[in-house]
Structures are given as C-alpha cells and as structure tokens.
Homo-oligomer: A and B are copies of this chain.
Amino acid sequence: MTTQEPQQIRPLGVAMIGYAFMGKAHSNAWRNVASYFDVPAFEQKVLVGRDRVQVADAAARYGWAESATDWRDVLDRDDIDIVDICAPGWMHAEIAIAALEAGKHVLVEKPLANTVAEAEAMTRAAQAARTRGVQSMVGFNYRRVPALALAKELIAEGRLGTVRHVRAAYLQDWLTDAQAPMTWRLRKDTAGSGALGDIASHAIDQVMFLLGEAVTDVSGRLHTFVSSRPGADGPEAVTVDDAAWASLSLTGGAIASVEVSRVATGQKNSLRLEIYGDKGTVLFDLEELNGLGFLDATDPVREQGFRRILVNEPEHPYMDAWWPQGHIIGWEHTFTHQIRDFLLAVSQGSAPSPSFEEGLAVQRVLAAVEESASAKSSTVQLTAPVSDSPAEGA
C-alpha cells in the first residue's frame, strides 16, 4: 500500500500532544516498546504543549527529540506520520479531525470525545481517512491488559458458554474527602461528565469488548454526593457526577450492571469485571492486573473452584516479551501493548481496534445513561450504530 512505503525508507515520525498524566504514560510506552516487541522503526520526534518551558522539560525527561507549542504547525510537518493525542477531551475532535485530514495516523486517548456529536464527526473523519490508508484508534488501553486479553480469548473460544450477565464496576476514592478542592474535572463544561465519562467509559468498553456485542438499551442513574467543593474564590458547585449506575442489555441477550464511583473509600483503582456464562465465569480486578479468575463449570463438581491464573506465562497474550514467569508487570504496559498493536496495524495497513466507531459506541451508551438518569431511570433504546462501511461523509 502506497502510504506504507515510506516506512521502508525512514522511521515513522511520531508527535505527541499533551504531557500530563496520559502524556507521561504514553511516552513511557513509546520509549520502551521497541525494547520488548518487534515493531516498525519509529522516532519520538516532537512533544507538543502550551507552556514552552514545561513542554521542553517534559520532552527531555520523557525521551522526545524536540518540543513545540502549536499542534497545527506539527500537523504541517512532512516528517510526522503519527499523532498521539493526550490533550484534554474537549480538544480531541478538533485535533484528531485535522490530523486525519493531514494524513496522519491518529491515536487518541479515551473517551473519544466529550459529546456524541463530536464523536460522530471524528468517526466520519476516521472513516474517510481509512479509505486513504490513514489509520485511527481510541486508547481504551485496558483491552491490552494481558489478563483481559486472555479473558477475551476464553470467551471467544466458548469456554464460558452463553454469557448471562456481567457485573462491571470501577471504584476509586480520590473524591472521598468532601474538602478535596474543585478542579476542571468537576465542571460539566470542561469535563463533560464525572465518573461516567472518565471510568464508566472503560467499564462499558470492556463489556462490549469481552462479549463482542453491542448495547441495545440502557437504564441509568447519576449522583453527586458532594455538591459543593472549595474553589479559588470560595465554595463552588460540582456539576458532574461522583458516581453512576447503569443496567445494559446486550445484543446477545446478556445483561450487564455497571457501577462506578470516585467516593468508594479504600478502593483505589478497582476496575472489576465478573462475566457469568452457563459454562464458566471469569473475574478480574485492575488492582491485581496480573491475575485472572476463572471457573470452568465443565470440571467435575468435586474439583470446581475459582482459579487465579497468574497471567505471566509465555503462553499468555503479550507476555512472551517480558520476564520469566511470576515477575509481574505494571499498569503502564497496557499502553506499551497498545502502541505495539497500533504500530503493527499502521505498518500492515490494517485498521487497529478499538476504532473510532467503537469509541463512538461507548459514547452513545454514556449519553443514554445521562438521558435515562434525567428521566427517572426509565430505559432508553439505543439507535443503530454508525455503519462501518466506507463513510459517505468522506
């Protein structure tokens, strides 16, 4: 494919936009991926941020050759092939669409956008770009937790039989203290939503990813337990949710409950998944991400029990690259695996997953939760997903 040929000639040039939490995590992945995996050659060309001094410092610290302050300039550069967008959610649409139109492969952090409308526009741009060999991906990094990739394999192989129901939760506690200060993350106009967009998006993506199914209807609830927090100029209203609950129906007949909270005292980063099928069950907790619980209901009853698979064997997804068995890996390598898969897809000219369509599907479920929550939890039907065919919007 024509667009891939330059890779034969020079390393792929990568630009990253944003250098906060996600920028640090993505940089780690770029800096290390080639030490563990066979990936096409690339260079960490340029890190983009608003503050000239800070972005230069971050670039030096995180392994980027240069820094820049205007992402539009970077999109104009011929030596940039990939744009990795770690900027805040409200900037995703503008940057991603411009980058795709400039012919750059795009990786954008989750959630895809702050609104369905933005996500739809991005998806149309991605579909158009895809016809030109320009790839795009949304960063639901937990798909690349080896234990969850293994769970996906087991489910796809039928080891769980028919999945009946799923319990998904994402529990954190960093807002437990009612005196924790106001931030942009707690204002609807900047953050879009609270726990819903930030962490329910991960939980919902996992439900669809693991089952390989779409959501057909949604009942939801949102709640803000601490409605006012100390701001710079006195108390300020919190305008996003602290916690969210949802019940989802899936195309295959399964039902998933989703519960997320930022005030679940003592739970630090506990994305939990329980998938109950008629032949088996898998359990997962992100706080112990190297393990996967599995019960095989086809074993003799006398020997049945939840086993904890330590997902650190060469037989496990991604793990032949790392350390000998039992030497656990950290959270950050979900990004390392993501970059590996993204680079391989780009070099092979294939569409990486999760696509913007998949990101949009999550966005629509989030919107349906909000809609239901504002209508006494009454169930909301989801309309058909965006077509995956070459986009008429191109």
Judge whether B263 and A164 touch: CB under 8 Å: yes
Measured between beta carbons, the chain B residues less than 8 angstroms from A25 are 323
Judge whether B376 and A269 touch: CB under 8 Å: no
Question: Looking at A281, A307, A309, which has the most chain B CB atoms within 10 Å of its CB?
Answer: A307
A368 to chain B, nearest CB (A): 13
Question: Can you name the residue of chain B whose Cβ is closest to the Cβ of A323?
Answer: B331
A152 at the interface (CB under 8 A from B): no
A377 at the interface (CB under 8 A from B): yes
Binds B, one of A122-130, A229-237, A293-301: A293-301
Judge whether A295 and B266 touch: CB under 8 Å: yes
Measured between beta carbons, the chain B residues less than 8 angstroms from A281 are 264-267
| Copies of this protein chain in the complex | 4
A104 to B21, CA, bound (A): 37
Interface residues on A, range: 35 or more
Which one, B169, B259, B301, B327, contacts A269 given CB within 8 A? B327
Judge whether A313 and B331 touch: CB under 8 Å: no
Digitize A274-317: 1 where CB-to-B-CB distance is under 8 Å, 0 elsewhere: 10111111000011111110111100111111111110110110
Measured between beta carbons, the chain B residues less than 8 angstroms from A172 are 326
Judge whether B278 and A178 touch: CB under 8 Å: yes
A282 to B302, CA, bound (A): 14
A266 to B312, CA, bound (A): 12
Residues of A within 8 A of B (CB): 21, 24-25, 27-28, 31-32, 34-35, 61-63, 150, 164-165, 167, 169, 172, 174, 176-178, 219, 221, 223, 225, 242-243, 245, 247, 253, 255, 257, 259, 261, 263-270, 274, 276-281, 286-292, 294-297, 300-310, 312-313, 315-316, 323-333, 372, 375-379
Q: Can you offer 8 A-B residue contacts whose CB atoms are under 8 A?
A: A28-B32, A28-B35, A165-B263, A174-B324, A219-B377, A286-B326, A295-B307, A329-B332
